[in-house]
Amino acid sequence: MELLRATYRLEGDPSQAQARAEAIALEQTVEVPRAVAMREPFIAREIIGRVESVEPAGDGSALAVIGYPVAATALDPAQLLGVLFGNTSLHADVQCVDFDPPPSLCKALRGPRAGVTGLRDLTGVRDRALTCTAVKPLGHSPAALAGLMRTFARAGIDVVKDDQGLADHDFCPFEARVEACLAAVEEVASETGHRTVYAPNLIGTPERVFAQLRFAQDSGARAVMVSPMLLGLPTFWELCHRHASVPVLAHPSHAGALRYAPELLFGKLLRLYGADAVIFVGYAGRFGMPRATCAAIAGNLRAEWHGLAPSLPVPGGGIAIEDVPEVVRFYGRDAMLLVGGSLQLEPGALLERSRAFAAAVREARSGG
Amino acid sequence: MELLRATYRLEGDPSQAQARAEAIALEQTVEVPRAVAMREPFIAREIIGRVESVEPAGDGSALAVIGYPVAATALDPAQLLGVLFGNTSLHADVQCVDFDPPPSLCKALRGPRAGVTGLRDLTGVRDRALTCTAVKPLGHSPAALAGLMRTFARAGIDVVKDDQGLADHDFCPFEARVEACLAAVEEVASETGHRTVYAPNLIGTPERVFAQLRFAQDSGARAVMVSPMLLGLPTFWELCHRHASVPVLAHPSHAGALRYAPELLFGKLLRLYGADAVIFVGYAGRFGMPRATCAAIAGNLRAEWHGLAPSLPVPGGGIAIEDVPEVVRFYGRDAMLLVGGSLQLEPGALLERSRAFAAAVREARSGG
């Protein structure tokens, strides 16, 4: 029988860890007392989770590995989350730190359609890390954002995304913004030959997001961005696999609110659901993510994993231009560096700073 | 200008609290350095969040209240979450503990359509707390679940929901389950006159969930259940306000994974988005939620709040039948008690235990 394996970190009394793991195995599948579930041979054999191991983690917590019969997930993107962490998430002393999906689940969820290869094809960048920035802040008109886009494109930035705070505002409607930014891209392409990839931010309820996607694709956008943890992962999956024809960047907004380990959430879950590139907050910047976590996220996104295409890691969250060489050494060239608001810090120097960012990445020697 | 006010608990050095609150006010709106945002008078005046107060909380943390111009939310169910807690959720030492939506946001999001009044009309129960249980566990056939339904209906339970683990499984397809359970309800209604409300669990990506809703409504289901934090709140909103004609129960699966205060998430956010009844894990049971938190959740769901209809609190998570009188005293009669797997504990005694549950609630004297 195929098993979905999940690893949980259990804080608290280690002498209780085995019993707590057994309780999780029930809670996440049958959610009735064991005696009730065991009355039916089919349920006992094919449905109930089984504790595979409980080990001390060294820091006083315990790591429990539980195998769930994959049938419990119905191979459904929403039900998978329920089996993985549904009710157990309500216990404040349990974190979901790893999972391993069996082949049938990988085949059903599919993972990235474009991934690293598709994004290299799209940008034409083969031999170095990619560059990314954002048109922002919220409050600008479409014309002002298009002005920023023009400057970034002239500076040779590979991918320019909307800030994730740009929705469909009266003072900056989605359609007008997308059209203005795409026109700016084309204007610079005809001047310089460099066609920056613009990724508009899609946000709203499913009806609205899918309409925004159609509009963006029909208008010529060659990538889009969404925040999967704002929209919900099931909606994200449907967007990637039922609606999108262009690569999809995942933004981490709202994701830190989760008690999943970051290397699981950003490194595996978003890849399994279909993110072609995953933005996360890196060690260099205002969020202070540990280096080991960043390495694990990037490693998970790019590792051989059940035949799923690799996703492009996109560290962001406040990289300073001076830090670019070190950041490129750290992540290697299969990565995209996201530098946002700091390009705008010096008035009148946007083109110069954007060029310096692009040049720093071009000149950096990667570790990978 | 209308402001969306949010309160954050900041752990860590209190001497840094003011500066951190100022950083959150920027991060959640413009996400650029203040100097950049202040260059545009419109952005400075109409977009940037403003720190209204920072107070010590007594336990060493600080409580910061930030007012966001409501325009930043675009009155959109997804963007609202981004403004409330988007990137700031990525800081592990910040919790979002309260919010207060201005009238325009309440009007846009609408809140419960049926709420407490609608659920009382639906069940015909006027003067006492309601009773709720679940057909479960996962692994049963539609016929076996319908058998449980028949017993619960005969015992006079008001509302019977699917377990949230019931998806669309090969061994128990959604359509077959809904038809079998609804037929069981009608069968008992023609025998006894008591027509239990059956709430099927909807789960999947938006396309699938909306199709399940249509099927359930067309088949005669008089309520449905979903897990908003599995589906994503924007999808939940669209389900409530664009698709559902029957009341919607919200299940807490995956919700504990969030670093929102429970009284905010279960008490206010789900109500604002449209939950008619909100299931949460109560103090009596295996999740051990503090009593004060339970009281705050129930209080928030039922309080006068911006003209939104009240939602019905549904404490669950392992209430023992012996505890029913105390639980009813605690929550009062505008509540629905959810007792699940424990009804099945004694083989052959399901009808008797279900009747005992219904009788205990009927006989309990409420505090409210």
Is the Cβ pair B30, A138 closer than 8 Å? yes
| CA angle, A14 then A18 then A24, to 5° | 115
Task: Write b or e for each residue in A340-367: b if 16 or more Cβ atoms lie within 10 A of its Cβ, otherwise e.
Answer: bbbbbeeeeebeebbbbbbebbeebebe
**Token digits for B255?**
């919700």
Per-residue pLDDT tens for A77-131?
Answer: 999 999 988 888 878 788 888 888 899 998 999 888 898 899 999 999 999 888 9
**Token digits for A212?**
């925004």
If you average pLDDT over residues A24-38, what whole number do you get? 89
Partner residue opposite A139 with nearest CB, options B42, B232, B237: B42
Determine contact: B339 vs chain A, CB below 8 A.
no
Determine contact: A40 vs chain B, CB below 8 A.
yes
Is the Cβ pair B167, A74 closer than 8 Å? yes
User: d(Cα A224, Cα A233) in Å, to the nearest integer?
Assistant: 16
Is residue A131 a contact partner of residue A328, using CB atoms and an 8 Å limit? no
pLDDT at A258 over 70: no
> In sequence order, which residues have a C-beta less than 8 Å from that of residue B9 and are 6 or more positions away?
B57, B61, B62, B63, B94, B95, B97, B261
Determine contact: B150 vs chain A, CB below 8 A.
no
Determine contact: B310 vs chain A, CB below 8 A.
no
User: d(Cα B12, Cα B14) in Å, to the nearest integer?
Assistant: 6
pLDDT at A205 over 80: yes
| CA angle, B306 then B113 then B213, to 5° | 145
Is residue B146 a contact partner of residue B184, using CB atoms and an 8 Å limit? yes
**Token digits for B17?**
């609290």
Whole-number pLDDT of residue B75: 95
Rg (CA), chain B: 22
| CA angle, B29 then B34 then B38, to 5° | 90
Contacts of A37 in chain B (CB under 8 A): 137, 139
Whole-number pLDDT of residue B258: 55
pTM for the whole structure: 0.90
Q: Side chain identity at B58, as an amino acid letter?
A: G
Beta strands in chain A (DSSP E): 3-10, 50-56, 62-69, 94-100, 130-135, 159-162, 197-199, 224-226, 248-250, 277-281, 312-316, 336-338
ipTM score of complex: 0.88
Contacts of B205 in chain A (CB under 8 A): 76-78, 234-235, 237-238, 242
Q: Which of residues 183-202 of A touch B (CB under 8 A)?
A: none
Among A31, A162, A170, the strongest candidate for a mutation testing the B interface, having the largest count of B CBs within 10 A, is A31
Four-residue CA torsion sign, B96, B97, B102, B103: positive
Is the Cβ pair A81, B230 closer than 8 Å? yes
What residues in chain B have per-residue pLDDT under 70? 256-259, 367-368
Determine contact: A207 vs chain B, CB below 8 A.
yes
- Give burial (CB, 10 Å; 0-12/13-18/19+) of A227: buried
Determine contact: B206 vs chain A, CB below 8 A.
yes
Per-residue pLDDT tens for B62-104?
Answer: 999 999 999 999 999 999 999 988 888 878 788 888 888 899 9
If you measure CA to CA, which chain A residue comes closest to B344?
A36
Determine contact: A110 vs chain B, CB below 8 A.
no
pLDDT at A368 over 60: no
* Nearest in space to B308 (alpha carbons), one of B338, B336, B278, B282: B278
The mean pLDDT of chain A is 91
If you measure CA to CA, which chain A residue comes closest to B286?
A91
If you measure CA to CA, which chain B residue comes closest to A346?
B36
Partner residue opposite B36 with nearest CB, options A77, A96, A341: A341
Share of chain A above pLDDT 90, in %: 64
Q: Side chain identity at B291, as an amino acid letter?
A: R
> What DSSP string describes A115-138?
HHHHHHHHHT--SS-EEEEEE--B
Per-residue pLDDT tens for A282-317?
Answer: 888 777 788 999 999 999 999 998 888 999 998 988
Q: Side chain identity at A220, as an amino acid letter?
A: G
Is the Cβ pair B74, A168 closer than 8 Å? yes
Considering only residues B333 and A365, tell me which one the structure prediction assigns the higher pLDDT: B333
Per-residue pLDDT tens for A171-196?
Answer: 999 999 999 999 999 999 999 999 99
Task: Write b or e for each residue in B45-55: b if 16 or more Cβ atoms lie within 10 A of its Cβ, otherwise e.
Answer: ebbbbebeebe
Is the Cβ pair B259, A254 closer than 8 Å? no
If you measure CA to CA, which chain B residue comes closest to A77?
B204
Is the Cβ pair B91, A140 closer than 8 Å? no
Is the Cβ pair A30, B165 closer than 8 Å? yes
For residue B314, list its beta bridge partners.
B279
If you average pLDDT over residues A55-79, what whole number do you get? 94
